[in-house]
Structure 1
């Protein structure tokens, strides 16, 4: 099959979250499975700079009348075949300061409806032959930024266009791409699309709803999240539609790219390590010692190092981490945090680091190398989210032997097994899990982590379980291929 992956980000070119990791890894996994995959990306500066051998393919007209170009090249991935990639050449829309979605004051760009409608429109144009040399059988759109692609394809099909299957993946239902209704005329969709059975959402336009309604098949990034988003509690106002379409909704657990996240080969680590039955872990101890020195923490091999690599938002449960920090420090632990987000959380963590610099390190922002070093050095990876569609952080923690401490929700529930006596005895235990989004439940999980750390042999055994847990893209790719086949049927 010829499969077009459509997303706003792709690692290693541009990354603001886990979407980029998936967008970069899935095409490689599909190619390894014998499929013909290509990517379509907006022409953000980092993407234009990173896609090699860009050459013009075609020009096309946006629904609102502007002319734009489409270029093609490839993304080079170390140790893997290049990913053939289309880039939308639209500097007026994409070449701007700030991040891909917001300006330098963290305000969404006022024309985001155009910037991302163009992404879906270009995908639909490719499906209708914009590139004379390649036309996809399947368009796979990721998150709200690409969500109009299935809508454009559905109406093109009704008008006699080619039969192209569409798949829409929800990475986080909370971010929906909602815009004022007066922008609908710019989108190039017929009037019936702005309807309860379409893009209309409480009088506004929802790109996310368009993807959910018009795509042939729907997926999300973990089996548990696929069930959760069909409930009022986590459906973000779209649970009724998701229940209505549950027969085409699949939960496919994200995987980890072994070329990027592998403690035995990771160039960001001072010394690699692996765990055949718990041995060959000296490298992790050295990673911890070096990172403690690098971050200004006390160089104590006996102090369990808790790490947080996260957006700093209440959704991620970071107020629980703040509330439990006195307990963590009183028991001799250390905390190293990397992330950015809500201003009050950034400032609160900065203050805690200033008050206890030998025990708390806070780095505001994002640094890919430091993220790898934190997983390489950490003993416990904290992910206490209110909701979590899949979560890659805990999966990196598992792979690097930094045992996840998580709330039992979404993909966290699907990937981490609590250290109960029976699960430790069976070899299933891989971390620490709590249920209620409350300080008391979080603190109990924290105490379990300290208790296990005191039992070195048990700790090594659970760490070995975690590092051996399969998280391969081959399995996930096979599931996606099955979904593509259903979309074509």
Structure 2
């Protein structure tokens, strides 16, 4: 590792450990972060690389994946050696290498973590292997690593393995470790017997790190042993240190760590830009947003066979059909609007809970001229819905950061959100005060219930219909905000500097 001197900015070697990165593998926002942050940090003058599993999906990314002559074996038990080789590619932007751990037995599957019947039964073994193989791969790549940035529970064992067995991985024992929580609810908890896959002596299976109420907990292991902890918004950093949102690990965050740093995720303004978006039929900017959104609305109406109307407000939703996202609130309101013939149209893009999918499909068949549904994921359609929508709903029960509300702000689709996590950090509720000081960008639910959601939609539509000048003010305030990754990347670099400084015992930067 290079010597670091306080007050002096050095070039850092940063390796990002993740299971998802666009365009290679994606189930959620983790992929957007790990597909963008590394090259944004590299743009700031640092050296970055990504290590992730060679899931089946990497070969359909549209980016060339090369084979290498680097191979190795990882001892997974007293009698089991598991071989792997490295594949290599680069992120689409910049020159950031992506190294894939190729082990078909573990990773050549249709799903990343499971299938429609549930999680894969061998996930503890799969991701213990990934953590150990990634550390071995770093030695084969030959980097002098300054920072290991681990993301979510699947990489949580990495800081713990380094701290527990520094002589096993000597090439990274001086590297600072950063553990990012993208969603506290997903922790990677398994029976204690799964600890045997780590290769460590059972004396290390203690409550200070790996053990959690008799089980092995990947995320706890990372949080308890990482040099720095981050999460994806300042509000969520506060929330997860409370019993309500800490998912049982709030005590770990308050033990041995002064604080958790919240850094809001960014968006790529070159990809999410309504003025230069090749995925939408009618690009627009702040000077012609009204005509642009109207034209895109008509395109969406035609695609889903909705009743053609330039005036009717279009309400968009894009994302996972999961309880977290507030579908217990959305479904009753959607049904009220459709059954009562309220003057709104709705378009939903997403997949997830089969029960939600079934109810949405039933409503789409019954009210096809007012409600459009696409079950699955379609990147181009996501852009088109943002460009066409007047309102975008995200009434999440909790939301570590959220990205769709940031896309919505940029595309002039006014967000209707709950006051939680990253939603509260990025959307300003519309009221008399925020209208007067021109900071309002969306609408909060004043009560987390179907009635509260319907009320928020009603307040938004009331303003849209009866005070179009103030509605335009809200739209343009959102469109003119800067939620680009560059700002977030600078904050991460400051954190990396601090982590390296503390690791070397030089004090805070």
TM range (shorter): over 0.9
Equivalent position to 1:240, from 251, 255, 274: 251
Q: Which residue of 2 aligns with 1:75?
A: 90
Cα deviation per residue 1:380-427 (whole Å; 9 max; x = unaligned)? Answer: 110001111111111111111111100000000001011112211212
Which residue, out of 66, 70, 73, partners 1:57? Answer: 70
Match of 1:130 among 129, 135, 140: 140
- Mapped pair 1:317 → 2:326: yes
1:26 Cα deviation after fit: 0.3
Q: Does 1:223 align with 2:238?
A: no
Residue deviations 1:291-315, cap 9 Å, x none? 1110111111111100111211222
**Structure 1 stretches lacking a partner, 5+ long:** none
Query: Offset of 1:74 from its aligned partner?
Result: 2.3
**Structure 2 equivalent of residue 442 of structure 1:** 453
What is the 5 A alignment of 1:52-451? 52-64=65-77, 65-77=80-92, 80-97=93-110, 99-103=111-115, 105-127=116-138, 129-132=139-142, 134-157=143-166, 161=170, 162-275=173-286, 278-329=287-338, 330-451=341-462
CA shift for structure 1 position 359:
0.6
CA separation of 1:35 and 1:281: change in aligned 2, threshold 3 A: farther
Cα-to-partner distance string for 1:281-339 (whole Å, 9 max, x where unaligned): 43222111111110111111111100111211222111211111245444301110011
Asked if the contact 1:44–1:94 (Cα under 8 Å) also holds between the matched residues in 2, the reply is yes
Q: CA deviation at 1:48?
A: 4.5
Count how many residue pairs are aligned between Structure 1 and Structure 2. Answer: 481
Length-normalised TM-score, structure 1: 0.94
Instruction: Name the CA distance, whole Å, in 2 between partners of 1:436 and 1:360.
Output: 25
Instruction: Tell me what 1:29 maps to.
Output: 40
Question: Which residue number in structure 1 is paired with residue 6 of structure 2?
Answer: none
Question: Higher mean Cα deviation, 282-291 or 61-70?
Answer: 61-70
* Cα 1:192/1:33, change in 2 over 3 Å: farther
Deviation (angstroms), 1:475: 1.1
Q: Distance in 2 between matches of 1:71 and 1:18?
A: 25
Structure 1 residue 368 displacement after superposition? 1.2
CA RMSD of aligned residues (A): 1.7
- 3-state SS of 2:316 partner: strand
SS state at 1:382 partner: strand
In the TM superposition, what is the alpha-carbon distance from 1:270 to its structure 2 partner?
Answer: 0.5
2:502 is equivalent to residue 487 of structure 1? no
Please point out which of 467, 470, 493 is paired with 1:458.
Answer: 470
Distance 1:102 1:326 in 2: 31
In structure 1, what is the Cα distance between the partners aligned to 2:435 and 2:75?
57
Alpha carbons 1:153, 1:166 under 8 Å: kept: no
Change (3 A) 1:443 1:267: same
- Consecutive unaligned residues of structure 2, counting only runs of 5 or more, are 1-11, 503-509
CA distance in 2, matches of 1:100, 1:160: 27
TM-score by length of 2: 0.91
Kept in 2, the 8 Å contact 1:42–1:119? The answer is: yes
Partner of 2:482: 470
Residues 245/290 of structure 1: CA separation in 2 closer, same or farther (3 Å cut) = farther
Indicate the SS of the match to 1:244. coil
Q: Deviations over 1:41-77 (max 9, x none)?
A: 1011122454533323342324334232342422341
For 1:205 and 1:61, the matched residues in 2 are separated by 20
Asked if 1 retains the 8 angstrom alpha-carbon contact of 2:129 and 2:197, the reply is no
Between the aligned partners of 1:205 and 1:436, the Cα distance in structure 2 is 38
